[in-house]
Amino acid sequence: MLAAPAASAARVVTIKGGGWGHGMGMSQYGAYGRALAGRSAERIVEHYFSGTSLKRARMPRVRVGLMHGRGSVTLSSRRKSGRGGHIVIQVAGTGSKLTAGGPGDTFRVSPKKAGRMRVFKNGKRVRNGGRRVFGSHRRPLVVKYERFGSLARVSGKLYSYAHGRLQLGTYSSSTCGGQCMRVVLSIPMQEYLLGLGEVPSSWPQSALRAQAIAGRTYAYEKSRRTGAHQSPCDCTVYASTVDQAYVADAQRTISGPYWNNWRRAVKRTRGKVILDHGRPIQALYSSSSGGHTENNENVWGGSPVSYLRGVRDRPDRVAANPNHRWTQKMSWPVFSSRLGAAYGVGRLRRVVLLKPFGVSGRVTVPKPNGRGGARVVGTSGKVRVSGYSLKLALGLRDTLFRISVHKGGSRSRARSGAPPWSERASVGAVLGTPVDGAPEGMVAQQRKLLSSAPTQ
């Protein structure tokens, strides 16, 4: 138990933990360590997703949500590798050109009543066939650039788009005064995977292939489940860690001499997905497991899912992993204010991490009979919270942690037992930190999905 220190004492809270992300499914650094040990991509995937099999399937196009809730959208184009730069805009379902341009031209699109759109080229309103407004809710504007060897740019996005085609559409919402704009990238699965920025392209080929298989399976399963048109983005996946980190053409430019490594991994795994009883799985992954992955019901709650069982993961301790073990310190006032603000309990009195912990040692969700999760007690009340909630409130990297408070040589540990790991970490040179594939912005949605997933 962590009790509030005396007012005059300058106490420090030390949180020791392991892993980065949600800890379910595949550990990206664990996959890296297994690849270094000579494991194939198939063996890596099958280790982390219990009882699954791999099979090739026909892939749909992926609809990537780039932005929504905008009052207008501005876009432009540029040359790729010194060539191209041409861009064409037309209304979906028509073969005729609405307007076109090249490097140096800027287009702005804004909504009108009934979901129609105005188009401006270099500040001048576009007219075509006597019309001044175009498209509708069901007929977005389509931006074509790939066939010309061009790169499309959308104002407000960091990356350029080389593949697929952009769709600029409208939808009704009070957020934008009645009509909002959204931008969706429609792209074949293989080309979508080329733009994933989840792990460094310098990694061993089997680790890259395992990532390609997991990334493809995640998008494929979500496409089948949502029909590729989830609201309000009208997309399969979001271009962020809400789903997967999609960095478009930047993956090519930042990979440098290793770009062909990632291209080869995507090509050699074409169509390959992870199945459970013939159905694609929700292929969750995170950056680091801290040495052991966790059962899904202990992280976000819900029913146990057969392929998301916690497994040992010693290769996660590979020297390149900066998050296999970590320590975070803060003053007691900061600790108290964060928890007070998150849970409305006033000035913090104590925090208790409650057993049982997960199979990995992670702090779990609250369970019946006052077990599991954590109890946060303050001057204005007390709450039971999950380890994942505590992680977010304190800005921690994972739910595999223990807390202690000390001043000088004195130290008291949260009533939770000793950490289930050695406190000595082996951290070497960082090759690049993979992005956590956890959809932290959509935890409630994922929890609902996992709770309804088929079990064995």
**DSSP conformation class of 324:** S
Domain boundaries, the chain: 2-19+325-413, 53-280
In this predicted structure, the answer to whether residue 408 has a pLDDT above a threshold of 80 is: no
Q: How would residue 388 be classed by pLDDT, with cut points 50, 70 and 90? A: very high
In this predicted structure, the answer to whether residue 8 has a pLDDT above a threshold of 80 is: no
Cα Rg of the chain (Å, integer) = 25
Mean pLDDT of all residues in the chain? 89
| Helix, coil or strand: residue 395 | coil
In this predicted structure, the answer to whether residue 438 has a pLDDT above a threshold of 80 is: no
For residue 178, what are the β-bridge partners? 173
Q: How would residue 226 be classed by pLDDT, with cut points 50, 70 and 90? A: confident
* Burial (Cβ within 10 Å: 0-12, 13-18, ≥19) of residue 299: buried
Predicted local confidence at residue 430, as pLDDT: 24
**DSSP conformation class of 198:** S
- The Cα angle at residue 397 between residues 391 and 400, in degrees rounded to 5: 70
Task: Give the mean model confidence (pLDDT) for residues 213-226.
Answer: 94
Of the candidates 355, 420, 421, 346, the residue with the CA atom closest to the CA atom of residue 383: 346
Predicted local confidence at residue 291, as pLDDT: 98
In this predicted structure, the answer to whether residue 304 has a pLDDT above a threshold of 50 is: yes
Q: How would residue 419 be classed by pLDDT, with cut points 50, 70 and 90? A: very low
Of the candidates 113, 123, 118, the residue with the CA atom closest to the CA atom of residue 89: 118
What would the DSSP string read from start to end of 238-292? Answer: ESSTTS--B-TTHHHHHHGGGHHHHHHHHHHTTTEEEEETTEE----EESB-TTB
Q: Is the peptide bond before 356 cis (omega within 30 degrees of 0)?
A: yes
- Sorted by sequence, the CB contacts under 8 Å of residue 397 that are 6+ apart come out as 17, 19, 20, 21, 323, 326, 328, 391
Predicted local confidence at residue 417, as pLDDT: 44
List pLDDT tens digits, range 98-111: 999 999 999 999 99
Predicted local confidence at residue 456, as pLDDT: 32
Question: Percent of the chain scored above 70 by pLDDT?
Answer: 87
pTM for this entry: 0.88
Task: Give the mean model confidence (pLDDT) for residues 35-48.
Answer: 98
Predicted local confidence at residue 84, as pLDDT: 85
Is the model more confident about 455 or about 27?
27
Predicted local confidence at residue 242, as pLDDT: 86
Q: How would residue 319 be classed by pLDDT, with cut points 50, 70 and 90? A: very high
Task: Give the mean model confidence (pLDDT) for residues 390-408.
Answer: 94
In this predicted structure, the answer to whether residue 422 has a pLDDT above a threshold of 80 is: no
Cβ burial 115-140 (10 Å sphere, 16+ → b, else e): bbbebbeeeeebeeeeeebbbeeebb
Q: How would residue 414 be classed by pLDDT, with cut points 50, 70 and 90? A: low
In this predicted structure, the answer to whether residue 228 has a pLDDT above a threshold of 70 is: no
Predicted local confidence at residue 10, as pLDDT: 83
List pLDDT tens digits, range 336-345: 999 999 999 9
Q: How would residue 431 be classed by pLDDT, with cut points 50, 70 and 90? A: very low
